[in-house]
A and B are shown apart, each in its own frame.
Chain A
Amino acid sequence: SQKIEQNSEALNIQEGKTATLTCNYTNYSPAYLQWYRQDPGRGPVFLLLIRENEKEKRKERLKVTFDTTLKQSLFHITASQPADSATYLCALAINNNDMRFGAGTRLTVKP
């Protein structure tokens, strides 16, 4: 069956450290993968997109990698801040009209 799994429900780290979140998928062949941030009671907000032919993408303190052989994406937040505390969702796009989310990882950055 098709699955999208994010490494853990919750991740707690100390301010200034790097947070690494994992997204694994099975039985999908996504054209691209996206990461979203969601704060409680709000809609997900787009952060980064990485295509199947890209290995790595960066945006400010964010870095995403995509390994289509391992069927895995890693999402890194460097120099983490308490304001980075949120739930982070990975979403697979099979095509433009088919986007599926993982369960999300709730990140807490402690001062």
Chain B
Amino acid sequence: AAGVIQSPRHLIKEKRETATLKCYPIPRHDTVYWYQQGPGQDPQFLISFYEKMQSDKGSIPDRFSAQQFSDYHSELNMSSLELGDSALYFCASALNTEAFFGQGTRLTVV
């Protein structure tokens, strides 16, 4: 069965650069979540979309933005990258309740 696809799997960027992370949810799932997970930390909720509309916002810095497109894929845009942005970024999709997570994108800011 198709799972949540995230790309790229790994990304290395320099400080002050911009990064774009992509997420392709499971077909027919109506909700997408983005989470940031630092080393040894729990996943921190960033933002979610329901039916392509932003539905909730967590601790997402103003430097970050996200959107969901007409084909339901979502992108997380991160600008003016800082060293502290280095983390695993997970996307999850859901239909009703159970969320399915992607493999994550490991972002390293140097």
A window 25-65: CB within 8 A of B = 32, 34, 41-46, 49
For the complex of A and B, the 10 pairs showing the least CB-CB separation, nearest first, are A43-B101, A97-B55, A103-B42, A101-B42, A46-B98, A101-B43, A98-B56, A97-B48, A97-B50, A97-B56
Residues of A within 8 A of B100 (CB): 46
Number of A-B residue pairs at CB separation under 8 A: 60
Whether B103 lies near A42 (C-beta < 8 A) is yes
Whether B97 lies near A102 (C-beta < 8 A) is no
Chain A binder among B13-21, B63-71, B78-86, B87-95:
B87-95
Report the contact-size class of chain B (Cβ under 8 Å from the partner).
Answer: 20 to 34
Whether B97 lies near A49 (C-beta < 8 A) is yes
Q: Point out residues on A near B: beta carbons under 8 Å.
A: 32, 34, 41-46, 49, 89, 91, 93, 96-104
Residues of B within 8 A of A96 (CB): 31, 50, 94, 96-97
A-B residue pairs in contact (CB < 8 Å), sample of 14: A43-B92, A43-B104, A44-B92, A46-B98, A46-B99, A89-B42, A91-B99, A93-B97, A96-B50, A97-B56, A99-B33, A99-B45, A100-B58, A103-B41
Whether B56 lies near A42 (C-beta < 8 A) is no
Query: In chain A, what residue has the closest Cβ to B96?
Result: A96
